Structure 1
Amino acid sequence: MSGDNDLIKLYSGRILALAADMPRTDPLANPDATVKKRSPLCGSTVTVEIKLVDGQISEYGQDVKACALGQAAASVVGANVIGLTRAEVEQARDALKDMLKKDGPAPASPFDDLEVLRPARDYKNRHASILLALDATVEAIDQAEQSACA
């Protein structure tokens, strides 16, 4: 039963507030790329649409069907991703992964609010859901850049 109590504590008020305030949920008209990612372990999904201008994200839309942890991560991503490049998004994704798997530092600004997810490091089955938004965003940038070169 103490495991259940620990899991309940994981869903802090800040995580639930982020999950409840999801930005950029409107679909984009004519996105440069659309990527849907799914966590096979829990079934969470995140669909990301982007537009790129000069290598930077100019528009972003997301459809998030995930646990509160995945929603909180997507909320932080959606609130901060406009104007960023692939390198900046990859850096945030890699830092989040290190924070969860190796107890590394939280991602740097503008993604430093992802620190709220640090307690999830002990719940490996939640990591994939937390990483979905950044994983999908990196893949969408890849697709958009490939389409622009074609």
Structure 2
Amino acid sequence: MKNIAFFPGSFDPFTKGHADIVKRGLKLFDEVIIGIGNNTQKNRHFPLELMTLKIKEAFHETENISIITYDGLTASIAQQYGARFLLRGLRNTTDFEYENTISQVNRHLIKDLETVFLITSPELAPISSTIVRELHKFGAKVNDYLPYDLE
């Protein structure tokens, strides 16, 4: 049985920090599925289609990665794709508090679904999609924070 991890997020945009978690996750799992979810509490800045294309571009030479877009509960989608693990990155204690609660609910929904947390690499910890989005909205160059060229 393959150990498949599902890496969910709104990825608006997908940053170097996200890419680092995926690459490190591939050392632990046979396959990583990147799931671009539709977060009902957020309005997207970058279209889903663009992010899907850019993530594929970032990993075009990497095996065992697939990218999907989805609506619905993350735990159910992970189960649908045969993933027994959710992969999440943590930058700080605030991330942990948020992610811990979600992992408990996901485990309640799907008993055998484990969440695996990876601590963000120190040099990437200051990067967040929120900051990159804000910079981009005001015309600042953001390619230094992304694993692909946006501009």
TM-score normalised by length of structure 2? 0.27
Instruction: Work out which structure has the larger RCO, using CA pairs closer than 8 Å and 6 or more positions apart in sequence.
Output: 2
TM-score normalised by length of structure 1? 0.27
